[in-house]
Structure 1
Amino acid sequence: MKLHLFKHFNNLDITATSLLTLLAIYNNQVTIFYILYLFWWNEVIYTAVTFYYKKRSGFVIGLGSKLFLLGIYWFFIVLFFGFIAPHQNYNLVALNFEVIFFKNLFFNLNLLFFGGELIWLYYNNPDLIEKSTIHPFSARAVILHISIILGAIMMMMVVPSFSNFFTPDNNWSSIVIILPFILLRYFFQRSSLL
């Protein structure tokens, strides 16, 4: 495997995700749901692209457990973080609807960039296809697991305790909410676990 190409992918991915997310924060377009749904879609895109390239290269792999877990996560993320947790703030629910229906420019750019970047990585490094995994508890899935737990803690304990600070108008509160997720992903990517 060309390690420099893989590190370049990780650096480019975290930089693009961070910049697009900061732009979204600046434009008041980010919620906890946004970042969790982004991580979920990154896992779906990674699974689909990796499966396609593995299948094309003749590898036999199963997706059943991975798709089952992603389905459960989708239901939980959309239901709890998209609708139930922010139910008293219609502006947040409206933002979440925009994300779900791909009406959020920054979210869409994040997804397009990640998918294009992953295709470019596999196209330029076919050896990586064999080493890539699609199991339910990969490093990417662990980020999703931890992010869901962290998001639930923040939504249930942190945000209500500091309701004067965590307002939709306060961009700094969005940064405080999103920063742990971005740092978690950064840690995994810098450790080359992704």
Structure 2
Amino acid sequence: MSGTGSRSRVVSRTARAADLPAVLALVRQHRADAHAGDVLTGHVSLNAAASGFRRLLEDPGHRVVLAVLPGPHAAVGGATGEAVVGLAVLGLDPLSLVLGNPQVTVDTFVVHREHRRRGVGAVLLAAAAAYAQENGAAHVVAVAGGHEAERQRFLARMGFAPLATRRIVSVESLTRSLATWQRGGVPIPAPRRAAARRRPVTRGLTA
């Protein structure tokens, strides 16, 4: 399948409850690519996953968008012959709503590894832009890990600028750190100060 052909055929649509298996497959791929199995753990039953997915789909503050290859000629497909090749979970940042300047967040962004560089990511970002326009948002914020060089380059090409660094910690680890801090064992880091510029030393000329 040529890249040009795929690019012209990929479309986006809002996810439905029946899309859960395809969504889980993409999420598992994302975890594997990120080597995040030790961080994003959790083996839930299919019933629990389906219940959580339905809540997400019904949440007015989020939209789950799929990039699909429609038609019977898709390489991978279900009963409709449709292949799900990308996933984006869009949301409205709550604080931005409070401040009256809504921002759309792309909390999850996955392109199937066999369909990259074929316009799938652009289709998902187009859906994010449309969602932003629907909600009067002036900005779209996408998350990319420091290890995701390819995604970082793609977002940069699409005009995304660096914004912040996100860190993750388990509740158990955070609780231990807080307990140690309360006992006085963890000093509060002082704010970093910009290093003072050294003035060039002017040496006098000697005879």
**Shared fold per TM-score greater than 0.5:** no
Structure having greater relative contact order (Cα 8 Å, sep ≥ 6): 1
Q: TM-score, normalised by structure 1?
A: 0.25
Scaled by the length of structure 2, the TM-score of the pair is 0.24
Higher helix share: 1
More strand by share: 2
